[in-house]
Chain A
Amino acid sequence: MSHAPRDDWRPTATQAALQKRARILADLRAFFHARGVMEVEVPMLSAAAAPDVHLRSLSTWVHRPGVGAQRRWLPTSPEYPLKRLLCAGYGDVYALGKVFRDGDESRRHQPEFTLLEWYRLGFDLQAMMDETAALLQAILGPQPVLRLRYDELFARFAGIESAYTAEAGVFRRALTAAGKEIAGVDPEDTLLWRQLVLTEIIEPQLAAHGVVFVWGWPREEAALAALSPEGYALRFEVYVAGMELANGYEELREATAYAQRFAQWNRTRRRLGRPEMPVDARLLEALQANGGLPACSGVALGVDRLVMAALGVEDIEAVVAFPVARA
């Protein structure tokens, strides 16, 4: 990633890569147009931010005549305004545009990147996985598709049974057996050791399996997904070429549950010494108005990574004209 300074004005993506990217953006819009899903734009300057513990929102100041300076937050995803539209009865919607996550910069991350997020009324998690698979095939061509529940994934690729209930030591020992050295994790932090088994042992093996859907996440990682009667989250992640590409939920609908999860995340933020985020009060109002959020599922998909998968490249800079280092 080190380049001679005199070349800094140049794009990092080739013209052919940007042509492919433009084609994919057009194909995504055509896919949703054909299915009657409406494209909408969401605010880039929101009064609220996502309190998810591991997201870092960027902010700026807006000077409003007669109101004064207000701190506004750049979206980490279009989720909250899209859900307000759903609550308002506007039907199936999607947003395709930039989102912002501070501090993220690697071969697969940029602090500003392009996200596609769409919502489908009446779809359960399985139907949403079907549509996501159809979308991926439309862009990437025919692909083998593997669907595994979270515990099946751990059994098959890490030899760990009962991933939902196993204790920290089970995950820790699997990492040690695989020769993985880890620093800074509390020996009893089950969630982190489980996450590390996923990223260090399982994900590298998924590259050989085309499109992999992992569904039924542990309830601690439900985010804003509803819970199944068995107690796991109705959430899926899609991996393509071993890369995390999309994240889908059968959506949580109860306003009180949203308020509880937001408050809980902000408490965790306080405990970890991270700034608390202003909760989206208008979303909470919308969830209580006119019957609230209709039964639906939603998916957020990283478009830069989709282009990477389509081109078979490993570095996000190959699909972005001007990454943050040259922006």
Chain B
Amino acid sequence: MQDSLIALLAGLAVVGGLFAFFWPEKGLLARWRRIRLLTSRVLHEDALKHIQKQDLNRRPASLQSVAGALGLDSNRAVQLVADLEGQGLIRHDEDGLRLTHEGRQVAMNVIRAHRLWEQYLAENTGFSQSEWHPMADQYEHQFSSEELDALAGSLGNPLFDPHGDPIPSREGQVFEHNAVPLTALEQDQSGRIVHVGDEPEMVAAQINAEGLLPGMLLHVSEKTTNRIRFWTNGEEHILAPVVAASISVQLLEEERESRPVGTATYLHELAQGQTGRVVQLLPRLRGAERRRLLDLGMLPGTLVRAELRSPVGDPVAYRVRGALIALRHDQARHIQVNLIKEEA
């Protein structure tokens, strides 16, 4: 009896040990990985990225701001900046720290890596949106430029990341969206949000609070000199022009039968036998999932009829272009439709 008790306890200890080792984020393995990642390459690249960002936002970068952004004490920050200066990547001037040409190249490459990885995570993995940024922050330092080219190739050489930010090419070339600020839209025009500016912070915070994301369709219902009023999926937003100006919109060229006006209905809300006309697939549907739905013909303007409920009510089978396709609520709730009234 004593033997089995000891064995049992030993077994439990082994299981506990394994958990402590493998536990995501807090486990020993995860910790060890994190520590190993903090190499000088990471510090160098993060510092360059920080200076580049400050530069883009027209704010001076300094020793203090580098130390603050990277969480270093001043001794190590001084050491780091001296290193970078020694390598000819940054220089001092009266405004503070500046990137040299070489330094900018390195910084651009890191940004390229970061955005490529975000695009990869968004399109080719199942990680959730909140995980992309921190993961990309790790991956951006780990790959050679050849590996990044291969990654870009496998992704179809994307020009923009999932947030709509441009991905610099290998040569550092950056493409602009073929877009206009939301303020340029007239009443009754529709467009697709392609980018939401993150500066100034006050504006970004308001846009964020309104839930406006790249990929959404919008339709301008009213425009005056001091405000712009528009519908997105089922909600009407009112923004001041100064805020609206930092939303970039790509105009919809063709007139659509279904416009995102008025309260929205979503596919999963259709009762059995009801028909809806697709307005848009929300940006939450992305990557392979979105493409599959498009391939099945789930396009704006398509008529979709809820035909068959599974015993539990989820999934529901919909008639789409002659075929019966079952979708889960989790997908259908991201497909906006206009309910078609049945004729008596």
Answer yes or no: are A and B bound together in one complex. Answer: no
Which B residues are within 8 Å of any A CB, using their own CB? none
